[in-house]
C-alpha cells in the first residue's frame, strides 16, 4: 500500500519535475560553466576556465555598481509609493466599491497592459511634439521639463512604474480590508471610536501582514525591472536608468561579454535568493 502510493506520487510529480530539470536544470549548469570561463560568441563551444575572473571584472565595474544602486533605489521608492497610494485608495474607496464592483475593473486596467507597451505609451505621452503632457504643460504653465533627460529620467520612470502597479497594491489591500469582520468595526463604532482612530488602531494592524507581502512583492518586481524602462528610455542618458536586468542584457547582447553577463546574473540570483530567504524568515517570525 505504502509502496503503491509512493509510486503513484512519483508518477504524478514526474511531468513537472522533468520539465523543470530540462528547461531550468541545463541552463543552471550552463550558467555555472560559462560564468567561470572566458567565452565570446565565437568561442561558445570551447569555454576556457578562468576561475573568478568574470566576477572580479563585474565587481570592479563601476557601471555594475551604478546598476545595483539604481535597482535598489528604484525598488524601494516604487514599492513604498505604490503601497501608500494603494492603501489609501483601497481604504478610502472601499465603501463605494462595496456597492459598485465595476470600479475595481477600471482601476486594474494598467496592470493588464504589458509593461513594455506601457513604456512605449509613455514615449508618446511625454514626446515634446506629439505628447499631450508637454502640450498641456505649455498651455497651462508656458513651460515643460524634458522628462527623459539625465536629471529627470529617474523620477519619470519611478512615476510610470508606480502608476502602473499601484493597482496591484490596491487590490491586495482591498481584499484584506474587506475581509475584516464587520462586527469588529460595529463594536468599535458603538464604543464611539472615530474613523481615523479605527483605521490606526484596528484596521491597519489587521492588514499588517498584507502590507508586508505587498511591499515585498512590489520591491522584488521593481528590483528586477526591465520591460517598461527598456522600451521607454533603454539604458538611459549616461546609463541613468540601467537596472540590474538591463545591465546584464547590455553586457550579453550589446557587448557580447558572456562571462561578465553570467557572473552578474549569478550575483543577481544570489541576492534575490538571499532577500527571499530573509523575507520568509521574517514572515515566519511575525506570524
Partner 1 sequence: MKRLGTTTRWIVFAIAAFVMNFPVLATLITAFKAPGEVTRNPSLWIEQPTLENFAAVLTVSDRLNIYHYLWNSLAAATIGAVLPIALCFPIAWAMARRGTGRGVLFPLVVNLRAVPLIIFAIPLYMMYSALGLLDTRFGLGLILAVVNLPLALMLLVNAVSEIPLELEEAARMDGARLPRILTRIVLPLCRPAFVTTFVFGFITAWNEFLFGLMLTTQNAVPVTVGASFFFATSGGGVQWGMAAAVMIVAALPPLALGLIMYRRISWSMVTGAVKG
- Candidates 172, 207, 233, 235; binder of partner 1 (CB under 8 A) is 172
When the beta carbons of 65 and 136 are compared against partner 1, the nearer one is: 136
Q: How many residues form the binding site for partner 1 (CB under 8 A)?
A: 93
Q: Does 278 bind partner 1 (CB under 8 A)?
A: no
263 Cα distance to chain centroid: 22
Q: Does 177 bind partner 1 (CB under 8 A)?
A: no
Q: Does 145 bind partner 1 (CB under 8 A)?
A: no
Place of cell 501608500: 84
Residue 244 and residue 107: Cα distance in Å, rounded?
Answer: 30
Q: Which of 64, 102, 95, 111 is nearest to 217 (CA)?
A: 111
The stretch near partner 1 (CB under 8 A) out of 4-12, 55-63, 142-150, 196-204 is 4-12
What's the length of the chain?
287
Q: Does 9 bind partner 1 (CB under 8 A)?
A: yes
Q: Does 15 bind partner 1 (CB under 8 A)?
A: yes
Q: How far is the CB of 183 from partner 1 (least distance, A)?
A: 21
**Which ranges constitute the DSSP H helices of 179-257?**
182-190, 195-198, 204-223, 227-232, 244-249
Report the SS3 class of residue 177.
Answer: helix
Residue 52 and residue 10: Cα distance in Å, rounded?
Answer: 39
Residue 274 and residue 236: Cα distance in Å, rounded?
Answer: 28
Q: Does 142 bind partner 1 (CB under 8 A)?
A: no
Q: CA end-to-end span of the chain, whole Å?
A: 37
Report the SS3 class of residue 113.
Answer: coil
When the beta carbons of 95 and 181 are compared against partner 1, the nearer one is: 95
Contact present, 125 and 131 (Cβ < 8 Å): yes
- Candidates 214, 229, 233, 235; binder of partner 1 (CB under 8 A) is 214
Residue 60 and residue 260: Cα distance in Å, rounded?
Answer: 11
When the beta carbons of 28 and 150 are compared against partner 1, the nearer one is: 28
Residue 71 grid coordinates:
535597482
Which residues in the 79-138 window bind partner 1 by CB under 8 A?
A: 89, 92-93, 95-96, 101, 103-118, 120-125, 127, 129-132, 134-136
Which residues in the 237-276 window bind partner 1 by CB under 8 A?
A: 244-245, 248-249, 252-253, 258, 261-262, 265-266, 268-269, 272, 275-276
Q: How far is the CB of 201 from partner 1 (least distance, A)?
A: 21
What is the contact mask toward partner 1 in residues 221 to 240, using x (rule: CB under 8 A)? Answer: --xx-xx--xx---------
- Candidates 76, 80, 198, 220; binder of partner 1 (CB under 8 A) is 220
Residue 41 grid coordinates:
560568441
Q: How far is the CB of 19 from partner 1 (least distance, A)?
A: 5
Amino acid at each position: 500500500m505504502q509502496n503503491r502510493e509512493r509510486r503513484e506520487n512519483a508518477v504524478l510529480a514526474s511531468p513537472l519535475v522533468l520539465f523543470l530539470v530540462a528547461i531550468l536544470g541545463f541552463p543552471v549548469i550552463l550558467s555555472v560553466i560559462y560564468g567561470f570561463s572566458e567565452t565570446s560568441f565565437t568561442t561558445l563551444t570551447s569555454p576556457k576556465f578562468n576561475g573568478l575572473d568574470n566576477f572580479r571584472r563585474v565587481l570592479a565595474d563601476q557601471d555594475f555598481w551604478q546598476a545595483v544602486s539604481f535597482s535598489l533605489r528604484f525598488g524601494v521608492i516604487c514599492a513604498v509609493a505604490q503601497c501608500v497610494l494603494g492603501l489609501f485608495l483601497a481604504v478610502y474607496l472601499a465603501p463605494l466599491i462595496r456597492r459598485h464592483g465595476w470600479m475595481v475593473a477600471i482601476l486594474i486596467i494598467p496592470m493588464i497592459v504589458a509593461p513594455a507597451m506601457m513604456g512605449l505609451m509613455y514615449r508618446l505621452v511625454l514626446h515634446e511634439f506629439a505628447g499631450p503632457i508637454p502640450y498641456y504643460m505649455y498651455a497651462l504653465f508656458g513651460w515643460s521639463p524634458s522628462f527623459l533627460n539625465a536629471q529627470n529620467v529617474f523620477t519619470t520612470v519611478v512615476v510610470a512604474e508606480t502608476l502602473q502597479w499601484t493597482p496591484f497594491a490596491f487590490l491586495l489591500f482591498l481584499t484584506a480590508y474587506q475581509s475584516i469582520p464587520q462586527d469588529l468595526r460595529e463594536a468599535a463604532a458603538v464604543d464611539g471610536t472615530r474613523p481615523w482612530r479605527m483605521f490606526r488602531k484596528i484596521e491597519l494592524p489587521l492588514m499588517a501582514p498584507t502590507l508586508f507581502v505587498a511591499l515585498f512583492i512590489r520591491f522584488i518586481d521593481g528590483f528586477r525591472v526591465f520591460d517598461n524602462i527598456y522600451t521607454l528610455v533603454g539604458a538611459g542618458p549616461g546609463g541613468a536608468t540601467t537596472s540590474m536586468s538591463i545591465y546584464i542584457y547590455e553586457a550579453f547582447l550589446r557587448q557580447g561579454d558572456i562571462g561578465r553577463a553570467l557572473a552578474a546574473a549569478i550575483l543577481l540570483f544570489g541576492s534575490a535568493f538571499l532577500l527571499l530567504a530573509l523575507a520568509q524568515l521574517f514572515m515566519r517570525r511575525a506570524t
